[in-house]
Structure 1
Amino acid sequence: MALLSYFSLRTKLILGAILASQVGTGLSMLLMQQLIHPQTLIGTSSFVFVLILISAGICAWVISHLATRTLATSLDALEVGLLNFKDNDFSVTIPVGGDRQLQALTTLFNESAETLRQERQYIYQRELLLDKVIQSSPNVMLLLDDEQRIIYANNAARHLFNKGVRIEGLNLLTLLESVSDELSRALQNPKGGLFSLAGSEEGEDETWHLSRGQFLLNGQYHHLLLLKQMTHELNRQEVAVWKKVIRIISHELNNSVAPIASMVNSGRMITRELNDPKLSMIFDTIEDRTNHLSQFIFNYARFAKLPLPKRSAVDWHKLTEQLAQHYSFKLLGELPESEGSLDLIQMEQVLLNLLKNAHESGSAADGITLSIEASKLVDGTSGINIEINDEGSGMPPEVLKQALLPFYSTKQSGTGLGLPLCREIIEAHDGRISLHNRDDVGLCVRVWLPSNEA
């Protein structure tokens, strides 16, 4: 029995057919000779007997070989197909043939192969989609093993830690040697949470949130680190709170200012015949301060109720000509050939405010420059870069960090809403604004706006 295990199924069937034919033929011959010529049984020619057995065996082999050819072909095809399955190749199909059972078996194999092909294609497409989403995410993602070796990192992580170069396979501790101390301490802390990094040229500290996760895969623990920059989101929430406060205060003040203005007019009419200079001075003072308070409320309400941008085509040449009618500046470089898609009124208000600040910085008029040029970010996003430079006194670091916050002003009569309003308008255009002191003298205000078709 052990010897038979080395033979294929087809060989076993052929051997079985030959053996059965030999035994059947031999028994038939002995029975026939016993019945027909019992007295010649012993004298029968052995040569004829052997010749008949050999002929019967050959016939049995030929017939069984032809009969099992389809079975052998199907079994070989199934074996090759299953070996391809083992190698994760599901492209093979088997021709359907043979008897009903073989046809059912090969049909089931082909259906299984088709299902596996579809499942693999679906998984492959999902993996591509997931990888595309992760690589496009602005959040930093790192996947580590128990040895703190980086298994996976997205583009944001590569740019944060290694200037866009791949970091898979590196050790996290080795990688942290080239980053800031604040970031290194945050990543080596076993707990997540908020932490701050010193700002670059914007002069504003960056707030980040670190979250950690751990899961078991293939018997090995993996550690997931997620870093999300919260500066923009926190600023939006802060501004939203300020807007709510402004709306409440404006509502209450308006409820008081309106009756006061009405009573002043009524008082003037009642005391008109008295012709008392003191009363006129009192009413004039009340009216003047009421108008001033109304204008004060209007300016803050404008910040709190800033409408969404209404984009339209903007001709940069016409825009710079309109700006030059209000404030002088030197235009540097060539203007973009393509038109922008912006809210012209809001953007003109932003640039006028920035030019006004430049003229009030103590800079000479010929030292104020404006440049508008097409630019492209590292990730390939196209946009417009606007820079306003002056030769004034610049800003101290503590002022630079708070210049974009509402109500913060170093001017005696300032409302602290000029730059915050500019920031709100620019961010509503999906852009950003940054302030930093120039290397030699003065301040540089940089505005970046994404390109949008009109």
Structure 2
Amino acid sequence: MQILRVLPLAIRLIVLAVLGVVLAAAATALLMRWMPDWAATLVAATIVGTLIGSIIWRTVAPMRALFRALAGTVASYRDGDFSFGITWDKYSDLVELVNAHNALGDALRDQRVSLVQRELLLDTMVQNTPVAMTLVDESERIVLGNLAARKLLGEGRRLEGRSFPSILERVPQALRDAFERGGDGIFAVGDEDNEEIFHLSRRGFRLNGRRHELILLRQLTAELRRQEVQTWKKVIRVISHELNNSLAPIASLAHSSAELLKRGQLERLPIALATIEERARHLEGFIRDYARFAKLPAPRLEPLEWERFLAQLRSQVEFAWNGQHGDGVVQADAAQLEQAMLNLVKNAHESGSPAHEVQLLLRRLPEQWRIDILDRGTGMSDAVLAQALLPFYSTKRHGTGLGLALTRDIVEAHGGRIALQNRDGGGLWVSLTLPAR
């Protein structure tokens, strides 16, 4: 009987059908002894049909209960409840269906537990990060605000559901100005004695078909102060090193000159004085470079014709230019831009590049001017490329580390950008972009 219980449903129905036919034939043959043929056939069909029908009903009834149970568990899965399971020991083909259904429930339950754990971890990270995070929907309502955002924007109160513009009305003016300017940026809040510096980042995306904006406010005060201290330490080391390298020889040569005067050996005195002058002028240039870097004024923009500007530049340093876009005009501070370009072209010559390989390319983009300076020198390693634009970083023996940093400040003060990369086949490619106002 146990074997019959687990037989596939199709085989069981075939057996019942064959059994019904055999029983109907046997009953008809038996009843024909006492009844007419048609009556025997009718009575046999009625009796056997009733018997087989009751057996089929008893066979199908558990299946109907199983289907109702399956429908109920599917509804539970849809509602997020994966705690239900089904037990079934009839008909092997339906046993496979029930086992697959239970396996699906186990997989969904495991995934739900894993998802809940991930959501808990993510919420813990979002809530406890020092970066103030605020998610705003297209109606400018706050969907999410972490603990740092509540402290910075909401005086510690929950932000969800509140209007973001109404929140901005209560924040410092510097923060409102940063939002009005749009995009990313750095701003300071407070006075000089109690100033806090923040970085604002805004990113838009679509969530569930609706536009949202993620707003990040990161406090940079402590980090910038650490960087400032490190920079000052480096400046002091560089200045101290340069002063010692110049003042020690000057003091020694001054003493030697005094001894030469006492001995009347005047023929050696011009050499000592010339060396003193050379070291003094080097020190003067070093201090002048630092002063220029520290006191870079805001650029005084005026129309500059490229052909005239580059002709003036070529009178001071050699480079090749194809003459394209010479009739173009850029709004720039002539003295500052000339200083930046001189630094770059001189660096190209000092890189070991042949003079005829130092080239300048000028291009007119839709909203920008692009100036490329190319050479075939030794190029830069990845480590040098990463730090080349930082102040006081230099690979030259007597370099101050201010040339490229000053150039970057000049370009950025004009609203442009500077980028460096190595060229295929050797050499460096320096690219400047300036707004085409």
Task: Give me the TM-score of the superposition, normalised by structure 1.
Answer: 0.47
Q: Which has the higher contact order (CA 8 A, sep 6+)?
A: 1
Task: Give me the TM-score of the superposition, normalised by structure 2.
Answer: 0.48
